[in-house]
Amino acid sequence: MERTQPNSKPNKKKNLKPGSSDFFSCLWEESWTYIKTVVDVVREPVLILDKDFRVLAANEHFYYTFQTELKDTENKIVYELGNGQWNIPALKKLLKDILPKNTFFKGFEVTHEFPSIGRKIMILNARPINFTEGVTPQHLILLAIEDVTEMMTVAETFAGHAKRIESEFLE
């Protein structure tokens, strides 16, 4: 007899046969739940893109940082977000190479002027997520965005002060 907690569902996994479509569907659901959970706890803004660069999901930090909403983000091509604000040729090239070459990138710096939130300096990192659903390979891209605007502003301020002090010292 299978033991269940009150109000819990019977364990359907026991009835799944490896290789069946239900098995792969269940595996995909569990994988997607796991991926979304990890993305949701990350402190940096994160996008999950499909092979066509369509946004499948974004975390709360993405919506907060870029002052946007789910309806304006999910199911949109990343380059079309915010009236094309992410249509950056170098970013397009990097993202385009990730899946076919099974590569990744780290530390890609982007400076962009956003109409509603102003100038942002960001460090982008992206990696592929590859798995098989049934017999069909699935390819996703995890894109993490670190907003370093404040840190860079402080560094520029310190550099300006250092230059001023140096020039005063040499006079």
Tens of pLDDT, residue by residue, the chain (171 residues): 444 444 444 444 555 554 445 555 555 566 666 666 666 667 799 999 999 999 999 999 999 998 899 999 999 999 999 888 888 888 898 899 888 888 889 999 988 888 888 888 999 999 998 776 555 567 889 999 999 988 877 777 878 878 888 787 877
Taking alpha carbons only, the member of 30, 62, 28 closest to residue 43 is 62
**Which domains are seen in the chain, by residue range?**
17-170 (3.30.450.20)
SS3 state of residue 142: strand
CA 130 to chain centre: 15
> Full-prediction pTM beyond 0.85?
no
Long-range contacts of 93-102 (CB under 8 A, 24+ apart): 94/124, 94/126, 95/49, 95/53, 95/126, 95/141, 95/143, 98/126, 98/127, 98/128, 98/141, 99/51, 99/128, 99/139, 99/141, 102/128, 102/130
Q: What is the pLDDT of residue 32?
A: 61
57 CB-side CA count, 13 A:
15
